[in-house]
Structures are given as structure tokens and as C-alpha cells.
Structure 1
Amino acid sequence: MRCRFCDSNLDDPALDNVFVDLGSAPPSNAFVSSKALSEPEVHLPLKVRTCPQCLLVQVDEIQSHTELFAPDYVYYSSYSRSWLEHAERFVSLAASRLQLDCNSLVVEVASNDGYLLQHVLTRGIPCVGIEPTTGTAHVAQGKGIDTEIEFFGLDFSRDFVIRRRQADLVIANNVLAHVPDLNDFVAGLAQLLAPEGSITVEFPHLLQLVSKCQFDTIYHEHFSYFSLHVVRTVFAAHGLRIWDVEALSTHGGSLRIWAAHEAGAQVETAAVARTLSEEADAGMLKMDYYRGFQAKADHTKNELLRFLLQQNGNGRKVVGYGAAAKGNTLLNYAGVRPDLLAYVADASPYKQGRYLPGSRIPVVAEDHLRANRPEFVLILPWNLLDEIVMQLSYVREWGGQFVIAVPKLTVQ
């Protein structure tokens, strides 16, 4: 295995660079149809390493990204109310801050089902989505959003600029981690960007992942895990400069960076130096910071197993809510099966009627909760805890309680 950014060799055991080893599991969004239940699933190693040279935390690309993000990919952004509201707030901010109008061009990379660009469209700002998964792209097109179905990279970006033009704003939310060829992707962003344009990128902050033991956000579709230091280094290698950064609450703690060409006129804010200093003070510039995470992940896993076994022994039913990728990492690492978690309810019709990869736990509609009245509901997408607890408040009518496992087991 070689580093995705600097090409250093990462396989030498003497490097002591394993961040965490979560065993083997199927890709977290490879949901199983009822017809495929009798067929074997491909399990892939989920071992994460830290590059001693550039400090990029990463998994190997064991399965091609074209297989991981196939046409039947089941993640649709529009099924989270809080995520839609987050996108709308961002569009309002960006339109004002960058003075976007009918003469501007906004391009979103990994635009999914148009959850964000629909708000750009309603403002009369020209926009284009770039989305590789056919199902989500077709939903966006059905909303009237100009969407090209393709994986993004430097070659695509060059062709796009010839056919259309460079963008005043390039958006890449929660896609940087999904990129196997990091240098090609960032070079594509630079190629797509107009001389005085801006790029905004949102990604889960590695500092939060470590401090809050968010190991369940690690899965095969996430090739890399980022600090601001590493992202700044990667962007600088392609002539891009980060001029602002915001701390966000999304996905358990994310960063939103604002970047421009090196020669761009944008003035760097104090937030950049402040965030870099915060990371340095936490120890993120030293390899020791990335050791010891395995024990934290194991403790969280064991807490969940003890809880599930205890409730099972007492005859109390525990079910799940939210068939999220992070939930699949957690359940597969803990070895949870339908005997301990009867089913997982989810709002997305694209997941209902299928089975979670690896654990083979059935995914059902929310109305199963009212019919079965479970004693506990394990909320797997803990980053949406408040939204889901409000949505499922009726569970308390029969004395039901909510549970999260990350960062530590909590019952409420």
C-alpha cells in the first residue's frame, strides 16, 4: 500500500502506522436484496493507516470506486431534514458572500439527488451537478437540475471547461473522503475554478473522529480522513490556497474550507491559523497522536455488545433506526446479528425491504416501531440524534428509550 497523496510506502510493519483495524466487512452501502440472501457477500479488510511522511490517514482501495459507487447506490441526501436545512443555509451564505448572480456558475461535485443545488436553482443562479451514481443523478434531473453523470477528475474537468466554462463556485461537500485518486481530484478542482473563484469543501474533521471515538465513520467508501494541516498541504500542491475555515456540527464535527487559486485576491481569515494551532496543540503533527485509537474503538464495541446481550437475556427488544453506513461499520465490527437487533427502520424507500450488508438485519419502514413497540431504539446515525428523537417521540408513549453507542453507550 502506498500513500494516496505523497506515494510513501505504508506497508512496512516497522512503521507502526496502523490507526485502527476493524476486521473485514462488506462495503457499508452494499445493501442485500431478498433474492441475494442465499448468496455469499464479499468481505474486505478495513484497516486504516497513517502516513508517517504527510500524516494522511487512509485505507487502501481494495475495491474499485466504480464498484463502491455503482448505479444502485442507495444513499440519497434528501431524506434528512436537518441536512436539507444545512444545505439551504450554506447556499444563502455563499450567494451573499461571493455575490453570486445570474451571470455566475456554480458547480457541485458529487451532487447526489440535488439536495443542495435545488436551492441554487431557485435563486436563479446557473448551476451544474456532477454525480457518478445514476439513480441519484436521475432524481436531481427530475428536479430540473442540470446534472452530468460521471466521476470527477482532472480529465473530466478539462473537458467540462472546454464544453462550458470555469466555475465561480465549486462545491465539494463530503466527497473528499470518497476519492481514491486524491491528487487527480484536487487537480480537477483547480482546473475547474475561475481565476477569482472559490472552492468550498466540507469534510469530517479527523480531530473530532479521534477525540470522540467516531470509529464507525470509517468504511470502505471513505478512503481518507483529514486534518486541516493535511488538506492545506494537498491543496497547496495543486496551486490552491485555503483562505477561510469554519467548524460545523455536521457528521459529528466537520470543517468547511474556502479555497482559491494561490494568486487569488481572497484575504486569509484568522480562523485558518486558529484551527491549525488547535490541531498542533492536540498533537496531530506527531505520529503518537494516531496510536492507541484501537483500544478506544474496542471499548465502545464491547459496551454495545454487553448492552445488547443483557437486554436479550432479559427478554427486552432492541431495534435500530437509520440504516446508515456508520451503523453498518459498528454492527459488523461488533458482530451484531438479527438475534440481538431484530430490524432497523429507515425513512428511505430505497433501503426498505433490503438487508444490511454483513449483518443481514432487515430494513423496514418506520411504522414497524408503532406496531412492535420495542423497549429500546438504537439510533445508528447518532449525528442526527436530535432530529430522530423528535421524529420518534411517540416511542416514549409506551416507555421506550433511545440508545446511542458512539462515543459511548448512552440511554435516554
Structure 2
Amino acid sequence: MTRCRLCGSQATASVVDLGATPPCESFLAAGQLDRPEPTYPLHLRVCTDCWLAQIPPLITPEETFTEYAYFSSFSTSWVEHARAFVADAVERAGLGPEAFVVEVASNDGYLLKHVVDRGIRCLGVEPSVNVGAAARDAGVPTLTAFLSPETGSAVRAEHGPADLVVANNVYAHIPDVVGFTRGLRSLVADDGWVSIEVQHLLTLIEENQYDTIYHEHFQYYTVASAIRALASGGLTLVDVELLPTHGGSVRLWARPDGVAGEPSRRVADVLAREKAAGLQELSGYTEFSARVAKVRRDLLRFLVEAAERGETVVGYGAPGKGNTLLNHCGIRPDLLPYTVDRNPYKHGRYTPGTRIPILPPERIAADRPDYVLVLPWNLRAELAEQLSYVHDWGGRLVFPIPELSIVEGTS
């Protein structure tokens, strides 16, 4: 990477180098196992001028998102999170029956279905053909497209300006930060609102969440770098919320520059926390690589020692973050014979790079393993409850992040 994709600076510093891995959602069918599998460097750097953390754009969004393996509705807690967000957004933005809501990267309609239920006109803009089709089947109007300034203008011309534009867990997924932000501005009404949820670099660094670094995520934001990114498209940050989702996310509330006004006190508070953590100087990043190496050593030690004792360890979940972890640690079927997932799309497929079989969840109860390694650790509370049956035969749950944790009982 030669230049920062936000400010154009060539002043970048290494944060952590995770080697080379396949794209995290490129699950393999059985017929692909004897074919070559492309891998790409996964090296996080930070711009020392604007402090946007980023990886090189070695793959395109079209390669990843034209057909996508992730369906949001399979997470019960995530659907509830969306329902609560819609209730809050309707009140904050004063959305009445004449309002219009657009969600960018709307996936399978998990969020907009709550807007539909309220009788509010809405449209999803979703690039993945397969999940967009699922949204339309669920009654959520959905346009199959990537957002650009031109797409935003076309939607505005056909449907009118949006009173609220939602962009949850997509702001990290686009290499053209400036173009995407201008697309958001072209969608939103001059007195409207934009809401963005994205993982917070502060918690990623503090909690060793390096497995959320993967090729779909081109950049990683602090509130400070997000303010600069929003400004590139004519949007001003007016409020911020810290969320527990994905291990620690930030919800950014922005408005067009002309109506934004002064930001809330919460914006200043989070900026102060980021500064205190050293994230606007290199000191905040220098220890991260060593802590990542310890996570790897601890997990491998546990798996090897369990194998030597003759104990069985299987996986739960096949999320993108799990594939970063598995590839970085070099975990293969000899240490993790399979993982399971609730998403039927993944059944019968194999994890990219590590080629671990993905099976239906019922396989765990049938095999009664000694340990279940939970790869979507960010859903710990939800999954600890779902997997409580593992304790019936004395099995234990294992969470690898932020540090190795072996859980007995339902805690």
C-alpha cells in the first residue's frame, strides 16, 4: 500500500501482519478441494496523518459480495438489535408515515422488515444477488447494486430523498471511502439523518480482536478518523453511541453539513478516550502485534494438548472472523475435525484455507465432544445459552478472544 485511501498520505506504519489468507467468505465446495486457492496478504497498517487503519485493497467488493454466504437473520440477537435500532431511529429522526428509509448493504432484510412492519416506505440497496433475493421474498423492497454517488442519485431521482439512510456494518467493507460517503450524501435529504455502525478500532486494539481483520474489511475506524471520512462527503458527525455488537462497535449519527449543528457531548467523550489510548500516535499500536501472537500460542497449545490427551474439540460457527483465526493459527482438521453453522448455505462446504468441514449444528449433540470452540465469540451471551446443552455430558465451551477462556456450566 503506497497511499492512504482517505487522505492520500504515504506515511503509514505497520500494526500487525497476519501473513496471507484466502478471502474469509470464500467457502469451498467439495469439488473445489483439489483446486488451487488464492491467498492475499493480510497486513494492517495505520496512516500516521489521518490515523485511518487499513489493509491494501487486494480484492474487489464485486469478488466478495456478488454472491455472499452471510445471512444476518440467522443471528437471533442481531435481529433483535435491528428491531431496537429501528424503534430508536424512528423517534430520533421523527419518521412518520410519509417518511422514506434507505438501508445500504441491507442483506436479507433483517432490519428493514421492522421498517416495513411500521408501514414506513423503504428500500434496501444490496449488492449480493442471493441475499437480496431472500430480502425480496421476505417482503422488503431491495435494489441489487453497489452504492456509488451515481447509484445514490438514481435512487433519489426515482424514490425521492431519504429521511434516514442506514449503513450498518458496511463502512469498513468499501475501498473507495470517499466515493461511498458521497453516495450516502446523495441519498439523504438535506435535512435528513445518516446512521452508520462499524467496529470501533479502540476495542479491536484493547481486546485483541485481530480476527476481525480480514479482506472484506478494508479499513478500521476510530471516531476521529470517521469524522474525517464523513467530511469527505459533506456529512458532519453529530452524535455517537458505543455498542457491544461485534465485540465493540460505534454507531455514528451524521447529518448534512448545513443542518448538523454542534456535536453531542458523547462525541467529545469518545474522542478523549481514543486520545488517552494513544490511537492518535504510534504508541497506541506498538504492543498489539505481540498480544496477537500470544492469542495464537495459547489457542494452539490448548488444541495440541487436548489432542494428546485424546480429547475431542469441534467448532461452532463459520464466521469470517473465524477464518482469520483458523488461518493465522494454522489450524487444520487434525486439531479441529469440523465446525457447525446454523446457515444451511454453508453445510457441506469447507472453510477457506484450512478446509475444515462445515456441518449442521445437530452434529454436536450426536458426537458429544469434550470441547466446543466458539468462533463467533462476539455472540458469547447468545451462544452460551444456545450451547448450554453441551454441559449435559460434561462438555465445555472455549472462547479464544480476547484471551483463551474455557467455560464450565452456563457462564
* TM-score normalised by length of structure 1: 0.97
Instruction: Look up the SS of the partner of 1:178 in the other structure.
Output: coil
Residues 101 and 124, structure 1, Cα contact 8 Å, conserved in 2: no
Question: What CA deviation, in whole Å up to 9, does each residue of 1:276-298 have, x standing for no partner?
Answer: 11111111111221223111111
Q: Which residue of structure 1 lines up, in the alignment, with residue 31 of structure 2? A: 35
SS across alignment from 1:156: helix
Q: For residues 284 and 25 of structure 1, what CA distance do their matches in structure 2 show?
A: 27
How far apart are 1:266 and its partner, in Å?
5.4
Equivalent residue number for residue 63 of structure 1: 59
- Aligned partner of 1:4 in structure 2 is 5
Q: 1:139 to 1:266 in 2, by over 3 A?
A: farther
Residue aligned with 1:387, SS:
helix
1:280 corresponds in structure 2 to 275
User: For 1:28-86, what per-residue CA distance to the aligned partner results, in whole angstroms no more than 9, with x for missing partners?
Assistant: 00000011111111011101111111111000111122112132x10000000000000
Shift of 1:233: 1.2
Q: In the alignment, which of 379, 387, 396 is matched to residue 392 of structure 1?
A: 387
Q: How does 1:213-252 map to 2 (within 5 A)?
A: 213-252=208-247
Q: Which residue does the alignment assign to 1:22?
A: 18
User: In the aligned structure 1, how far is the partner of 2:329 from the partner of 2:84?
Assistant: 37
Higher mean displacement: 266-275 or 305-314: 266-275
Aligned Cα RMSD in Å? 1.0
- 1:190 — aligned with what? 185
Q: Superposition pairs for residues 3-402 of structure 1, below 5 Å?
A: 3-9=4-10, 17-71=13-67, 73-264=68-259, 268-402=263-397
Q: Distance in 1 between matches of 2:80 and 2:324?
A: 27
Q: Which whole-Å CA distance do the structure 2 matches of 1:367 and 1:162 have between them?
A: 49
Cα distance in structure 1, aligned partners of 2:260 and 2:367: 60
Q: Give every structure 1 segment of 4 or more consecutive aligned residues whose post-TM-superposition deviation is greater than 2 Å.
A: 265-268
The alpha carbon displacement at 1:315 in A equals: 0.4
Q: Flag the 1:306–1:265 CA change in 2: closer, same or farther, 3 A.
A: closer
For the 8 Å contact 2:237–2:260, the answer to whether it is kept is no
Q: How many residues align?
A: 406
Helix, strand or coil: the match of 1:47? strand
Amino acid at match of 2:20: S
* DSSP-derived class of the 2:345 partner: coil
Offset, 1:217? 0.4
Gaps of 5+ in 2: none
Gapped runs of 5+ residues in structure 1? none
CA shift for structure 1 position 182: 0.3
State the 1:9 CA deviation: 2.2
Give the CA deviation at 1:103: 0.7
